[in-house]
Structure 1
Amino acid sequence: MKSLKDILYKVPMEAVAGSTAVIVNEIHFDSRRVQLNDVFVAVRGTVVDGHQYITTAVKNGALAVICEELPSNIVNGVTYVQVANSQTALAYMAANFYDNPSANLKLVGVTGTNGKTTIATLLYNLFTKAGFKVGLLSTVKVMVAEQEYPATHTTPDSLTINSYLHKMNLEGVEFCFMEVSSHGIAQKRTAALQFAGAIFTNLSHDHLDYHKDFAEYRDVKKVLFDELPSSAFALVNVDDKNGQVMMQNTKAKKYTYALKSYADYNAQILENQFSGLLLKLNGHEVWSKLIGNFNAYNILAIYATGELLGLDVQENLRIISELESVSGRFQYVVTPKKVTAIVDYAHTPDALKNVLETINSIRTKNEELITVVGCGGDRDKTKRPVMGHIASALSTKVIFTSDNPRTEDPEKILEEMEQGVEPQNFKKTMAVVNRKQAIKTACQMAQPNDIILIAGKGHETYQEINGKRTDFDDFKIVSEFLTQLEK
């Protein structure tokens, strides 16, 4: 329990009706969760406007209401605070409520289109193996030291973030690595966090259903770096032209990494095989179990971050050589008959291109590369023909199938993907709407030494069709089919 006045510290207030000296229990932005003596923050969302539920929140016992527009009906005994932006207010209120937990550990944010989950998770594993208590906020899971919690969003709401960071404080966590999405930044979920560092991976076509255009998407990512303090570090991939943009206005200490450009941290790929990568990182050779050019960038980013956060160079390299691939990120199985099945989260054109080019750079070209891929429903439609083009151009056979159709007609999604296929590649492709059947078909087509790529869902263990989620695990399903076929 805290006073409303303390919770509102650093929140710019435009008008107040009532007393801020009242003691409140909890903060909520969902009116259904409000109980006696709680604070309700009316947030304008993309679908629902919380201002419509102020009356409900007061009936449920709200002692205070934070809003951008004061209601016409002011209830006696309830404090109303008008703010310019409820999302920003919620972020600062959440931080104040949980005693600003991000200030009590070293929080590092990872942003970019691809690589966020891999880098954040590998950093969690790296620092855990180095003997530290570590936290993780990722698309796949939340870790508070050794305790695991399910993840609901890439970047959770600000109350959830600060609640987990508070748990980390209680557990003595020293470092936390966090994925920071463009949605999270745009919706001010990270506004009141104190970052010790931020990493930029790359920027490519994604989320243009939410952001108006690519420039807006880029500029939203840049906000993370614009708001870093001078005590923090900014680590950016300068092989991506947007890397320099990220650093333009930052007060943080600037560091760069690259495979192709001059940078503070450089890597050379000496060997690239299905068994792993041999890299030279700033002059030091290291073998990694991870595969592909895109993972060379990820490994370089975690090596640089480890050094910037004080890890001994030799220990850093030793642990990097022990790290395993992240669930659903180039996760593979090889059968006794030498069929290789790879499951990857690649759901953007750039990510799909990277994975397919990696496989093609390793394979001998005497075997088939069979790709199973779809696109999510109710999401950016402009990338569908691009994904279809890339899959058909870089594979020997392609099966277009459902990803998470959500509320869209899955056949229509596949038709939009097929529009990107060039005439010379038509014969390579087929459409199988049912994802399980598509995976089974790929397994039946595969001969010894062939490679199957199942792209798009990666770590997800569900499929969403018409608002209903059912159990669905790409890696489990392809493993079972291959086992059955080889009996």
Structure 2
Amino acid sequence: MMVLKDILYRVPINVVVGSTGVEIDTIDFDSRNITANSMFVAIRGYVADGHDFIESAINQGASVVICEVIPEKMIEGVTYVEVEDTNKALAIIASNFYGTPSENLKLVGVTGTNGKTTIASLLYQLFKEAGFKVGLLSTVKIMVNDTAYKATHTTPDSLTINKYLKEMNDAGVEFCFMEVSSHGIHQSRTEGLCFEGGIFTNLSHDHLDYHNTFAEYRDVKKSFFDALPKKAFALVNVDDKNGLVMLQNTKAKKFTYALKNYADFRAQILENQFSGLLLKINDSEVWTRLIGSFNAYNVLAIYATAELLGLEKEEILRLLSLLESVSGRFQYFISDEKITAIVDYAHTPDALKNVLETINSIRTKNEDLITVVGCGGDRDKTKRPKMGHIASALSTKVVFTSDNPRSEEPEVILKEVEAGVEPQNFKKILTVADRRQAIKVACQMAQPNDIILIAGKGHETYQEIKGERVDFDDYKIVQEFLKQLEK
């Protein structure tokens, strides 16, 4: 329970109608969850506008309403607070309500198109191994030291973030690593959080269904660094041309990392195999079980962050060698028939290109590389032909299939993916709309020593079709089919 005037600390307010001395038990932006003595925050979403549910929230027991426009019909005894932006207000309110939990630990945000989950998850792993109590807010899961919770978004809503950060405070967590998506930044979900540092991985074609232009997408990412405080660090990949853009207006201490350009933290790939990478980071060599040049960047970012957070260099190198890959990120096994199956989340053109180039740089070229890939429905359509082009150009055989078709017809999506295939690659492709059947076909096509890449869904254990989520796990399904072939 908390008094309204304390909850509103630092919230920019236009108008208040009613008392700020009322006590609040809970806060929510979903009117269906409202109970007596609750605060309802009216958020303008993409599907519905919370302002349409103010009356319903009051009927459920809301005693305070936070909104951008005070309704004409006001109910006596209810306090109405008008603000410019309810998303921003919610984030500050959530932080106040849970006792500004981000100030009681060292919170590091990871943003960029690819690598966020790997970097955040492996930093969690590394600091845990170093003996610290650690938290993680990621696409794959939320961790409060040893306790796991299911994640639903890359960046959860601000109430959820602060609720888990408060749990981390109660559990004595010292460091928390958090994925920060462009949606999360744009919707002010990270507003009011106190960051110890921010990491920029890279920027490539993604989310243009949401952000309209690449420049807008880039500038949203940049605003995260603009908001970092003076005491924080900003660590950016300068092999990506947008890396230095992120640093332009930040007040934070600036650090860079790279494999190709001059930077504060540099790495060189000495060996790249299916068993792992041998890297030279600054002047020290380290072996890691992670695979591929894109992971060399991830490992380097992890090393740099650990050093900036005060760990000893020798200890960081030792811990890097213990790290294990994240679920659905270049997760692979070799069957008894010597067929290598790789499951990866690559769902953007750049990520798919990185994974395929990595496999091609390791394989002998005497074996086939069979790629199973599709594109999600109700998302950025402009990337579909690009995905088709990359998959068919860099694989020996391709099976185009459904990803999460959502409300779209899989056949329509697949036609748009196929449109990117160049004539000389037509003979390589096959289209099987049913994802389970597509994986089965790839397994039947594979000979000993061949490589199957199943891209796009990675760690996801469901497929989203016509508003329903059905159980679907790429890794389990490919294991199942390859075992059947062994009989």
| Structure-1-length-normalised TM-score | 1.00
- SS at structure 1 position matched to 2:209: coil
Q: Give per-residue Cα distances to partners, 1:179-199, cap 9 Å, x unaligned.
A: 000000000000110000000
Q: Give per-residue Cα distances to partners, 1:430-454, cap 9 Å, x unaligned.
A: 1000000000100000001100000
Partners of 1:44 and 1:180 lie apart in 2 by: 21
State the partner residue of 1:293: 293
State the partner residue of 1:340: 340
CA drift of 1:336 comes to 2.1
CA drift of 1:312 comes to 1.0
Q: Give per-residue Cα distances to partners, 1:27-56, cap 9 Å, x unaligned.
A: 111111111111001111111100000000
State the partner residue of 2:238: 238
> Are residues 1:412 and 2:412 paired?
yes
State the partner residue of 1:310: 310
State the partner residue of 2:462: 462
State the partner residue of 1:9: 9
Q: Give per-residue Cα distances to partners, 1:128-151, cap 9 Å, x unaligned.
A: 000000000000000000000000
Q: Give per-residue Cα distances to partners, 1:446-487, cap 9 Å, x unaligned.
A: 001100000000000001111111111000110111111012
Runs of 5+ consecutive residues of structure 1 not aligned to the other structure: none
State the partner residue of 1:85: 85
Matches within 5 A, 1:114-133: 114-133=114-133
> Are residues 1:148 and 2:148 paired?
yes
Partners of 1:465 and 1:49 lie apart in 2 by: 25
> Are residues 1:28 and 2:28 paired?
yes
- SS at structure 2 position matched to 1:404: coil
State the partner residue of 2:229: 229
Q: Give per-residue Cα distances to partners, 1:256-313, cap 9 Å, x unaligned.
A: 0000000000000000000100000111100000000000000000000000001111
Partners of 1:48 and 1:468 lie apart in 2 by: 19
Partners of 1:337 and 1:292 lie apart in 2 by: 24
Matches within 5 A, 1:50-89: 50-89=50-89
Report the residue type matching 1:383 in the other structure.
Answer: K
CA drift of 1:342 comes to 0.3
CA drift of 1:212 comes to 1.3
Partners of 2:431 and 2:282 lie apart in 1 by: 46
Partners of 2:398 and 2:386 lie apart in 1 by: 14
CA drift of 1:370 comes to 0.2
**Alignment identity in percent?**
74
Partners of 2:156 and 2:88 lie apart in 1 by: 14
Partners of 1:288 and 1:479 lie apart in 2 by: 25
Report the residue type matching 2:196 in the other structure.
Answer: A
Matches within 5 A, 1:62-461: 62-461=62-461
Q: How many residues matched?
A: 487
Partners of 2:82 and 2:150 lie apart in 1 by: 34
User: Which deviates further from its counterpart, 291-300 or 39-48?
Assistant: 39-48
Q: Give per-residue Cα distances to partners, 1:90-110, cap 9 Å, x unaligned.
A: 000000000000000000000
Partners of 1:338 and 1:277 lie apart in 2 by: 21
CA drift of 1:337 comes to 2.2
Partners of 2:444 and 2:160 lie apart in 1 by: 45
Partners of 1:74 and 1:413 lie apart in 2 by: 47
| Structure-2-length-normalised TM-score | 1.00
Report the RMSD for the aligned CA atoms in angstroms: 0.5
- SS at structure 2 position matched to 1:220: helix
Partners of 2:336 and 2:61 lie apart in 1 by: 63
Report the residue type matching 1:273 in the other structure.
Answer: Q
